Amino acid sequence: MKDFNPTYQDLKPTFRDWVLVGIGLAFVAMGIVILPKNPKVGIVTLTFFGLCAGVAIRTVIRKRKESKFQGLSVHVIGGVEIRPSRLRILILSVSLVVVGVVLLIFGNEYPLLFRVLAGLICGIGIVLVVLVAFRKIPVGFIRFDYEGFTIGRKRWNVTLPWDEIALVRPGDFNGNSALYLWVKSYERIRTDPKEFHPMAVAEVLNSESWVGSHFMILTENYNLHSPMVAEALERYVSVPEFREELKNRKILS
């Protein structure tokens, strides 16, 4: 079996990804050694770098899986909103709270700046937990419609007609699986309500200057791999006949 799919070889873990794994594991090992002699320092080291190592390892595993993606045919449910995972952001939030609390309790011998940062981490985690609990985050959705690909915002939606999608490219953004989209014309994208069209164009221009594409979707927030979403989009962009599937709200096989 090939180590990666040539189509997605750019999604393979980078040297930096492996370095971060190595650094995280090295500090975890150091924490284990320190723990019997200095429990507080050992616990702080294990907690902080254990989380860092876990994130780095997860990123490497995810990138290896995406670089090997072999999609014979990707089908989706038409007209159904795919929303970001609340569980994912809740786990992240709780992790921040736990790490912050541990650092505050066992890091009382560290400098004031360290304790301030620990409190900040804990505070951010608590705020995120509250926002998730009250359903303030995450917001938005993605949807495959017969008319085009729809991206939902908090107050408005933008639909990219299939024939106006110029390029679809899976990738990565700050360690997260991401999908990059380019359109042929700003003016032919559609918004609902219509009066938000200038805002959609402004978003396109901002995204282009920030990340280089007209739209970027963090597919990892939806528990989706970017190559899978990219192939589904390209299927409907390249073969208009397949768009008929999206009129029916059922999975096709």
pLDDT at 70: 84
Give the pLDDT of residue 6.
75
Q: What is the pLDDT of residues 54-69, one digit of tens each?
A: 999 999 999 999 999 9
- Check residue 63 and give its pLDDT: 97
Q: Where are the domains of the chain?
A: 6-67, 86-133, 141-247
3-state SS, residue 78: coil
pLDDT of residue 108: 87
The predicted-structure confidence for 4-48, as pLDDT tens digits, reads as follows: 567 898 999 999 999 999 999 999 999 999 999 999 999 999 999
pLDDT value for 230: 96
Given a cut of 70, the residues of the chain with pLDDT beneath it are 1-5, 72, 249-253
pLDDT for 19: 98
- The H or E element that residue 176 is part of is strand 176-183
User: From residue 3, how far is each of 12, 88, 103, 147 by CA, in Å?
Assistant: 10, 28, 40, 38
